Amino acid sequence: MKQALFIFGRTPDLSFLELTSLYPAAVLVAPGVAAVDDFSGDPQVVIQTLGGTVKIVESIGTTEMLNEEAVLPLLTEEARDNHITFGISVYGTRAPLHLASAVKKLLIQRGMITRYVETKHDEALSSVVVAKQQVVEVVAVSISKQFLLGVTRAVQDFEDWNRRDFGRPAADPKAGMLPPKVARMIVNIALAGANAGHHPMVVDPFCGVGTVVAEALLSNANVTGSDISEEAIDNTKKNLDWLRKTYAQVAPLYANIFVGDATHLSEHLAVNSVDAIVTEPFMGETIDKKDIPNLTPQRVKNILKGLEKLYIGALREWSKVLKSGGKVVIAMPAYDIQRAVVRVKNVVDRCESLGYTLFTGPIEYSRPHAIVRREFYIFIKN
């Protein structure tokens, strides 16, 4: 494949960082769309490893005019036994009116049995629709007064992701846990550059119900998960037992799950033994809609002061067990209050004194208008 286009889901910034961890030469070509030149992987295999990419598209050519004459050759090439179900998704601009119906008319004139799947409100087709309706999807991406044209070769396996999100036996919806897709993204980012010749060790010191450790196991890593809550550890163990029964490839991998304080991790792990620490730590007290009027600047300041103390203590401790060059990928809260965003700034400012370099951050993955946002930071141990 000369060029592959990667279409991102709801967290494009994090998705692009994940993609560049696997393909450093990837470039953004439009909002939510990246390109990788000289792509030689199997799209069906690659998309299974990525949490943030919903479609992989084979880029076939360019056109200055997005019309039926430009689209028709792609579909005639894809037709099988004179039948085709197709759709057209446009990124970066609005789709021309009646384009799909005009293409269908030309296909019928050529003797084909055809139908097309329409998009709603000028949106692109979802990966669910493409997969369930077995659509041959033509993708057009608007760039520099022309369009990249391609055909979708792989879509995200939504059933598999839903199975791990909703099919596992133990969950705690009140904990605001990471979804598996986001967990996979940050695991991939954390393991970029890790020695491919061994099973890296990934640690989550605030493992909750085990989402991060599960995705790390599915990424061929050994894992350690700890949490101060006995209930959380029981839930993690239940979920990992289910994971081993559901996904045979994780059975041989090592998993050590125990009750423990994140600021005493070195009591359980050897010095310089960990490749990456990937976690969403305690994010402070839960703030619901009813509580927003009481969220004063002083209250936010007090919340963040306590969290800063926890995070700084944890980072100091983790540097004992993390290998040189190992990454910490950590979510931290930011409060959107009185038209200002307040973050745990002191943690970032002190990272060098704790033995780390800030690689990147903040990268937001929560809803953009949320009062309490979740943002990722990536630190590299010096």
List the domain boundaries for the chain: 3-156, 160-381
- Residue 133, C-beta contacts closer than 8 angstroms, at least 6 positions apart: 85, 117
pTM: 0.93
Beta bridge partners of 61: 149
* 91 and 30 Cβ atoms separated by less than 8 Å: yes
Residue 266 per-residue DSSP state: G
Instruction: Tell me, rounded to whole angstroms, the distance of Cα 284 from its chain centroid.
Output: 23
DSSP H/E element including 343: strand 340-343
Residue 292 per-residue DSSP state: G
CATH T-level topology, domain 3-156: VC0802-like (3.30.2130)
CATH number for 160-381 (one of 3.40.50.970, 3.40.50.11740, 3.40.50.150, 3.40.50.1860): it is: 3.40.50.150
DSSP 319-333: HHHEEEEEEEEEEEE
- Predicted confidence pLDDT, tens digits, the chain (382 residues): 789 999 999 999 999 999 999 999 999 999 999 999 999 889 999 999 999 999 999 999 999 999 999 999 999 989 888 899 999 999 998 888 889 999 999 999 999 999 999 877 678 999 999 999 999 999 999 998 899 999 999 999 999 999 999 999 997 655 557 899 999 999 999 999 776 568 999 999 999 999 999 999 999 999 999 999 999 999 999 999 999 999 999 989 999 999 999 999 999 999 999 999 999 999 887 666 676 677 788 888 888 999 999 999 999 999 999 999 999 999 999 887 777 788 898 999 999 999 999 999 999 887 656 678 889 999 999 9
